Amino acid sequence: MSEAFAPGDTVRVSAVNPPGHRRTPFYIRGKQGVIERVCGEFANPEELGYGFDGLPKKRLYRVRFRQKDVWPDYKGDPNDTVDVDIYEHWLSPVAKPKSGRKI
């Protein structure tokens, strides 16, 4: 398995649209967010959907996105977020900016 992420890490969701059963919604693909918590390890739904056992388990993360980073026309408060549970294989690390952005 790849190295684990920790809360506070900046990550980017893969910008791919593969066929098949996926639990990463279209609107969040390619977007950048921050790990809010490590949720645990779970069998991979993308495999379970086709009758496989989904093992080995994948790490699941709650990733927090600022709404204004997701929707260019977002009209709410700049602090508003959308939190999405995303599996590790959809996430890549992003180098932290020197100013160290907080959640």
Partner 1 sequence: MNDEREHHDHHHGHDHAGHAHPPLQPDDTSPPNNYEVTILAIRDLLLDKGILSAEQVRRGLETLDSWEPSRGAEIVARAWVDPAFKKRLLADGNAAVADFAIDMGSAKLTVVENTETVHNVIVCTLCSCYPRPVLGLPPDWYRSKNYRARVVREPRQVLREFGTHIPDDVTVRVHDSLADLRYLVLPRRSAGTEGWSEERLAALVTRDCMVGVANPEKPRAA
Partner 2 sequence: MEPDNTKFTSAREPGRGYHDLGGLDGGPIDPAVTQAKPWEKLSVVVGNALGQKGKRLICTDEVRRTREEMGAELYNRLGYFEKGIESLRRLLIEKGVIDAKELERRMGEVARRIEEDGR
Q: Which residues bind partner 1 (CB under 8 A)?
A: 23-25, 27-28, 39-40, 42, 45, 60, 62, 64, 67, 70-71, 74-77, 79-87
Among 15, 19, 79, 97, binds partner 2 (CB under 8 A): 19
Among 3, 20, 78, 100, binds partner 2 (CB under 8 A): 20
Tell which positions 37-96 bind partner 2, by CB under 8 A: 45, 48-51, 54, 71
Site membership for partner 2, residue 25 (CB under 8 A): yes
Please list, residue by residue across 19-51, b when 16 or more beta carbons sit within 10 angstroms of its beta carbon and e when fewer do: eeebebeeebbebebbbbeeeeeeebebeeeee
Residue among 9 and 67 whose Cβ is closer to partner 2: 67
Please tell me the distance from the alpha carbon of residue 32 to that of residue 13, in angstroms, as a whole number. 6
| Residue 17, Cβ density class (10 Å: 0-12 exposed, 13-18 middle, ≥19 buried) | exposed
| DSSP single-letter state for residue 27 | G
Smallest distance from partner 1 to CB 41, Å:
10
93 in helix, strand or coil? Answer: strand
- Which residues here bind partner 2, judged by CB under 8 A? 17-22, 25-28, 45, 48-51, 54, 71
